[in-house]
Amino acid sequence: MDPASLNYTKTHEWVAVEGDIATIGISDFAVHLLSDLVYADLPPVGKKIVQGQPFGEVESVKAVSDLYAPVSGEVTARNEKLPDNLDLLTSSPFGDGWMVKVRLSSPGELSNLLSQTAYQSHCEAEKH
Amino acid sequence: MSYLFSTADEQQQMLQRIGVNSLQELVAQIPVGLQLNRPLNLPPALTELELERHLREVASRNVGTSTRLCFMGGGAYDHFIPSVVDEITSRGEFYTAYTPYQAEASQGTLQSFFEFQSLIAELSGLDVANSSLYDGGSGVAEAVLMASRCTARVGRIVVVGSMNPEYVQSLQTYLVNKSTEVHVVPTPTGSADLADIEQAMNGQTACVLVQHPNFFGGLEEVAKIAELAHRHGALLVQSFDPLSVGLLKRPGDLGADIAVAEGQSLGIPLQFGGPYLGILACRQQFVRKMPGRLIGQTVDRNGLRCFFLNLQAREQHIRREGATSNICTNQGLMALRATVYLSLLGPTGLKEVAELSCRKAHYAADRLSQINGCELAFSSPFFKEFVLKHSLGSDVAIRMAAAAGVDIGPALNRLPGMSWLSEEDREQGVLIAVTESRTRDEIDTLVAALS
């Protein structure tokens, strides 16, 4: 997936929308901040997630961090390869490292998200 | 006991060290109106000789298991404690109740907790145990909260009524500000009816909570209850007696997902209000939802074996409000006692303690139920404890035993909840537990006292 075409949250999740299906992951910036990842807890298929609410967890050697839903909807798939291959998040955060796919329940929410440019300035600001 | 000095010179040294001149200056921040400004209303100090005589006299009025015969049950038991347990746990290197700060600097303590976890995992038949909680009741409550996290269900907890009623109270206290409903399935016959449990289940039930051997000493059909719970997408949480696995199948073998226990039986003396020992173990897949401290084994930079606090990221000091529990400590000294006790017993000793307790309890039950006006309240098979009904009422029975220097109880009419017991069982029923410590003569003394 081309990072420039994605939408982002201030909490570092990204979304790619195709029809009414959104694919969700976390950005390379987030993966870098978390450092050594040891565990990911993703919601089961069928689970309803809500924009801005936690939908899963990633654990690094330093901390457990919540994953916040960038959009609302029902989970239609999760990346079953990911929990046992967390390296995918480092090697391909915007591709093979995707986390879940959801069927959008409120497509209008997409307007709350950031463009890549806006997200990058947010990250720059967070570095300081 | 240590003799603690606090001479005027020493007080002055301490004040100087922190840069104040007098005790008055030290407490100057406290508003004058709140200061006492007069000596405490105490009698004149005693000499050491007088004090020792006074304390000895007061202490001689204590009544305990060394002066009377204890057949009391209901969650804490008079099992034998080999003196090696005291010898090892009172060593200066170990004698603290607390997990030290900079835990990894105390490798000996961490290793003893690691051994404790290994022993508990083996006893429970499950993959992983934490390094202990406060007591059996806190274990039950934490296990239920954990089951909610594992299943993402918070609607209902189904509790089999033969559970220790004080554990149920602890659970209700932990849940008081949550919407989770504690649904107790009555067990008026002394053990669970599967159809009643089935009826209590719904799609929001996080777990079924069952005690085996149960509060009345009786056995439950845990494997069938586990199958039932799993069929409804719920977990099975079993509260068990750690010594019972010398004879009975382990919780993990019966299908339990989380096992909890009161560890007092493992080398911890009977004490009014504790400290006791909470035990919690679970299947590997739930380890990240587990509360409490977890010690891991690894190698240091020189390749040598060492121990460390593992999976801390789920704990309160890192995860804040998202932590699995607010517990950030363990019952260190009591866990050490259990570790020493279990290491001494080994598998053979554990089997012997369980068998002796069970056989003696059955001898006592046989003899007692032959007394005119006495019978067992329930017909289910039991381990080391049973409910005896006395036609004169449990209060009279307890007084008759007490007059002969024997303690039994608690009486069922003193227990919270359990309103589903029959009037007769409530008024006449009293718990009697028999451990390996009791002799045939002592059991016969009890029988004579109740005849």
Q: What is the pLDDT of residues B322-359, one digit of tens each?
A: 888 888 788 899 999 999 999 999 999 999 999 999 99
What confidence category does residue B105 fall into, taking pLDDT thresholds of 50, 70 and 90? confident
Nearest CA distance, A9 vs chain B (angstrom) = 21
User: pLDDT tens digit string along B208-242?
Assistant: 999 999 999 999 999 999 999 999 999 999 999 99
**Buried b / exposed e across A97-124, counting CB within 10 Å, b at 16+?**
bbbbbbbbeeeebeeebbebeebeeebe
Residue B278 in this model has a pLDDT that exceeds 80: yes
Output the pLDDT for position B100.
66
Positive/negative CA dihedral, B361, B362, B363, B369 = positive
**Residue B362 binned pLDDT confidence (cut-offs 50, 70, 90):** very high
For helices B107-124 and B332-369, the axis angle rounded to 10 degrees is: 30
Question: Which residue in B152, B288, B313 is closest to A62 by CB distance?
Answer: B313
Is residue A62 less than 8 Å (CB to CB) from chain B?
Answer: yes
pLDDT, tens digit, 9 for 90 and up, residues B9-53? 999 999 999 999 998 899 999 998 999 888 899 999 899 999 999
pLDDT at residue A98 greater than cutoff 60: yes
Q: How confident is the model at residue B104 (pLDDT cuts 50, 70, 90)?
A: confident
pLDDT of residue B211: 98
Confidence class of residue A35 from pLDDT cuts 50, 70 and 90?
A: confident
CA distance B9 to B15: 10
pLDDT tens-place string over residues B51-63: 999 999 999 998 8
Burial class (CB in 10 A: 0-12, 13-18, 19+), B90: exposed
What percentage of chain A reaches a pLDDT higher than 90?
Answer: 79
Q: The tokens 């006991």 sit on which residue?
A: B1
pLDDT confidence of B417, banded at 50, 70, 90? confident
Is residue B1 pLDDT above 60, yes or no? no
- The average confidence (pLDDT) of chain B is 94
Cα B310 to Cα B301: distance, rounded to the nearest angstrom: 17
Strands (E), B370-433: 374-376, 385-390, 406-409, 429-433
Q: How confident is the model at residue B97 (pLDDT cuts 50, 70, 90)?
A: low
Question: Residue B50 and residue B52: Cα distance in Å, rounded?
Answer: 6
- The answer, yes or no, to whether residue B272 has pLDDT greater than 90, is no
Write the pLDDT tens digit of every residue in B195-211: 999 999 999 999 999 99
pLDDT reported for residue B24: 87
Q: Give whichever of A35-39, B149-153, B225-229, B413-417 has the largest mean pLDDT.
A: B225-229
| List of chain A residues whose C-beta atoms are within 8 Å of the C-beta of residue B152 | 47
pLDDT of A89 higher than 90: yes
Contact in structure between B446 and B372 (CB atoms under 8 Å): no
* pLDDT at B146 > cutoff 90: yes
Among candidates A39, A47, A64 on the partner chain, residue whose Cβ is nearest the Cβ of B322: A64
Give the whole-number percent of chain A exceeding pLDDT 70. 99
Using an 8 Å CB-CB cutoff, list chain B residues near A62. 313, 318
Q: A58-70: per-residue pLDDT in tens?
A: 998 878 889 999 9
Give one DSSP letter per residue of B230-278, joined into a string: HHTT-EEEEE--TTGGGTSPPHHHHT-SEEEEE-TTTT----TT----E
- Spell out which residues of chain B touch residue A63, defining contact as CB-CB under 8 Å: 313, 318-319
Work out the percent of chain B whose per-residue pLDDT is above 70: 98
Tokens encoding B3: 């003799």
Chain A residues within an 8 Å CB radius of B322: 64, 66
Which residues of chain A does B288 touch, with a Cβ-Cβ cutoff of 8 Å?
39, 41, 59
Cα separation values, A110 from A6, A40, A67, A72, A95, Å: 11, 25, 17, 10, 20
Q: What is the pLDDT of residues B281-292, one digit of tens each?
A: 999 999 999 999
pLDDT at res. B6:
83
| pLDDT confidence of residue B98 | 66
Collapsing DSSP states into helix, strand and coil, what is residue B376? Answer: strand
Residue A119 pairs in a beta bridge with none
pLDDT band for B127, please (50, 70, 90 cuts): very high
d(CA B345, CA B181): 41
**How many distinct helices (H) and strands (E) make up chain B?**
15, 14
Beta-strand relationship, B305-309 and B295-299: antiparallel
Distances (CA, A) of B411 to B84, B282, B390, B425, B435: 34, 33, 11, 10, 19
Which residues of B touch chain A, with CB atoms under 8 Å apart? Answer: 152, 288, 313-314, 318-319, 322
Confidence tier at B173 by pLDDT (50, 70, 90): very high
Indicate the pLDDT class of residue B103, thresholds 50, 70 and 90: confident
Residue showing tokens 């089951």: B147
Half-sphere exposure at residue B155, Cβ-oriented, CA atoms within 13 angstroms: 9
What distances in angstroms separate CA B241 from CA A13, B75, B308, B346, B350, one per listed residue?
Answer: 47, 9, 29, 16, 12
Q: Which of the four pLDDT bands, split at 50, 70 and 90, describes residue B182?
A: very high
CA dihedral of B240, B241, B243, B246, whole degrees rounded to 10: -40
Residue A114, amino acid: L
Provide mean pLDDT across the span B427-446. Answer: 98
Can you give the residue ranges of every domain in chain B?
Answer: 69-81+346-450, 83-339
Contacts of A47 in chain B (CB under 8 A): 152
Q: A3-123 sits in which CATH class?
A: mainly beta
> Hey, how many other C-beta atoms are within 10 angstroms of the C-beta on B105?
9
- Range with the largest mean pLDDT of A82-86, B4-8, B233-237, B285-289: B233-237
User: Helices marked H in B134-209 — which ranges?
Assistant: 136-151, 165-174, 194-200
If you measure CA to CA, which chain B residue comes closest to A44?
A: B152
For chain A, the domains span 3-123
CA distance A1 to B354: 63
Complex confidence, ipTM: 0.75
B83-339 domain in CATH 3.40.640.10?
yes
Contact A59 B288 (CB under 8 A): yes
The better pLDDT of the pair B266, B1 is held by B266
Tell me the longest C-alpha to C-alpha distance in chain B. 77
The one-letter code for the residue type at B398 is I
CA distance B188 to B179: 28
Q: Rounded to whole angstroms, what are the CA distances from B94 to B31, B133, B262, B292, B311?
A: 42, 18, 22, 20, 24
Q: Is A60 on the interface with B (CB under 8 A)?
A: yes
Question: Of 3.40.50.2000, 3.40.50.300, 3.40.309.10, 3.90.1150.10, which CATH number belongs to B69-81+346-450?
Answer: 3.90.1150.10
Report pLDDT for B95: 85
